[in-house]
């Protein structure tokens, strides 16, 4: 009987011990899971912080390139426009940054450049109420937007009405009465745009047309002049098409002349007609084709549709961890090189 009681007592102790061990294992597992979750959260926050500061470093590096690479007269040959060794996959601490901008080529393909884009080399749609700029917008709509003359006239008129301060529709335009009848209804802006995407609210503007012109329009600047040193071939063609009755050969000749001039590392630092003529065509008497090209340039000069200065630069900086994480951070920015002000800072 005594041995039986002792056996029962040992068995009870063993069961109690096993239950205690099981309980301790459960507690350890729970604590391990809790600690693991906390560590994962902390690791994720650390990675996100690394990505953010890497992206921010990319913005600062791009600004430094702009300050070193231009004295006001921009050129796409400058290091700020496309410089992979300085702007692509650059290690900074535990992170890596890449600064880039994309542009849709005339054939529809998308090109990525590692650096920033010059907003001054685009068409300032906030100046569409200016008659000459309105003609340039029409030309861009035809050249890059893929619309015909009638549609270009109507869309440009509606853009002008969207931006002007009154509520009286111009010929082929649209004001509040049109937008109030939409579903859902909305008001006409009647003021300068802060973002180019607002054009999608304008009568006649479709997603397809906007996609065609979005890389070549801007809302920054106080005049309608496009920097001829940084304008891409599509914008140069739009500029050439602004002058009515220009022959196709003269328009293409003008574009080719500007591109060849720039390809030689040259820029126009002044809009003085005599200097421009000499730089582009030399001092000798111009040929018949050159006279046609000069007529295009002279018309653009007379209507102040070209400039030679750069001020606003835009780009996207992507930051990521050097290894071990797929977390990324992007900062889209627009920088005013004259005032030093950051006009846009959008984090994603």
> What residues are paired with 347 via a beta bridge?
331
Per the CB < 8 A criterion, the answer to whether 256 and 70 are in contact is no
Determine the pLDDT at residue 223.
Answer: 82
**Taking a C-beta distance cutoff of 8 angstroms, is the pair 88, 114 a contact?**
yes
344's tokens:
């846009």
Which regions of the chain are under pLDDT 50?
2, 35, 71
Q: State residue 221's pLDDT score.
A: 84
Rounded distance between C-alpha atoms, residue 33 and residue 36, angstroms: 5
pLDDT tens, position by position, 123-179: 999 999 999 999 999 999 999 999 999 999 999 999 999 999 999 999 999 999 999
Say which DSSP state 111 is in: E
Give yes or no for a cis peptide into 187 (omega within 30° of 0). no
**Burial (CB count within 10 angstroms: exposed 0-12, middle 13-18, buried 19+), residue 42:** exposed
Strand partners, 123: 217
Tokens of 341: 């002000």
Residue 70: the pLDDT is: 52
Phi, psi of 139 (to 5 degrees): -65, -40
Indicate whether this model's pTM tops 0.85: no
Where helices occur in the chain by DSSP H, the ranges are: 2-69, 84-87, 131-143, 149-163, 176-180, 207-213, 233-240, 248-263, 273-281, 288-302
Distance CA 29, CA 38 (A): 14
- How far is the C-alpha of 179 from the C-alpha of 174, rounded, in Å? 8
> Residue 102 is encoded by which pair of tokens?
């994309």
Tell me the two tokens of residue 70: 């231009």
Measured between alpha carbons, how far is residue 99 from residues 58, 105, 165, 281, 283 in Å? 6, 20, 38, 37, 42
| Neighbour tally for 245: CB within 10 Å | 6
Are 46 and 326 spatial neighbours (Cβ–Cβ below 8 Å)? no
HEC string for 241-279: CCCCCCCHHHHHHHHHHHHHHHHCCCCCCCCCHHHHHHH
Domain spans of the chain, in order of start: 56-118+311-347
What SS3 class is residue 291?
helix
Q: Pick the closest to residue 306 from 118, 71, 123, 77 (CA basis).
A: 123
In sequence order, what are the beta bridge partners of 319?
97, 329
What is residue 67's predicted lDDT score, i.e. its pLDDT?
Answer: 85
15-24 long-range Cβ contacts below 8 angstroms, 24+ apart:
none
Dihedral angle at the C-alpha atoms of 203, 205, 206, 210, nearest 10 degrees?
Answer: -160
In the block, which residue shows the tokens 């002049």? 225
């Amino acid at each position: 009987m005594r041995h039986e009681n002792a056996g029962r007592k040992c068995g009870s102790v063993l069961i109690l011990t096993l239950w205690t061990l099981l309980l301790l294992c459960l507690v350890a597992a729970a604590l391990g899971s809790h600690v693991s979750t906390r560590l994962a959260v902390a690791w994720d926050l650390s990675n996100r912080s690394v990505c953010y500061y890497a992206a921010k470093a990319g913005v600062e590096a791009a600004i430094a390139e702009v300050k070193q690479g231009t004295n006001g007269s921009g050129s796409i040959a400058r290091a700020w426009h496309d410089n992979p060794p300085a702007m692509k996959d650059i290690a900074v601490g535990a992170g890596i940054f890449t600064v880039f901008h994309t542009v849709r080529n005339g054939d529809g393909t998308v090109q990525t450049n590692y650096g920033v884009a010059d907003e001054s080399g685009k068409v300032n749609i906030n100046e569409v109420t200016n008659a000459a700029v309105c003609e340039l917008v029409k030309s861009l709509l035809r050249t890059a937007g893929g619309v015909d003359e009638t549609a270009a006239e109507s869309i440009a008129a509606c853009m002008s009405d969207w931006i002007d301060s009154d509520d009286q529709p111009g010929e082929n335009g649209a004001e509040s009465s049109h937008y109030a009848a939409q579903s859902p209804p909305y008001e006409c802006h009647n003021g300068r745009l802060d973002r180019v995407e607002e054009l999608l609210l304008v009568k006649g503007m479709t997603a397809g047309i906007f996609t065609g012109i979005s890389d070549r329009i801007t809302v920054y600047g106080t005049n309608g002049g496009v920097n001829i040193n940084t304008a891409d071939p599509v914008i140069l063609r739009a500029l050439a098409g602004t002058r009515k009755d220009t022959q196709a050969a003269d328009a293409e000749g003008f574009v080719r002349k500007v591109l060849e001039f720039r390809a030689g590392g040259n820029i126009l630092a002044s809009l003085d007609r005599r200097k421009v003529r000499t730089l582009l065509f030399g001092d000798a008497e111009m040929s018949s084709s050159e006279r046609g090209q000069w007529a295009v340039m002279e018309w653009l000069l007379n209507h102040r549709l070209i400039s030679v200065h750069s001020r606003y630069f835009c780009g996207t900086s992507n930051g990521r961890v050097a290894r071990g994480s797929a977390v990324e951070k992007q900062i889209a920015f627009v920088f005013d090189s004259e005032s030093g002000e950051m006009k846009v800072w959008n984090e994603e």
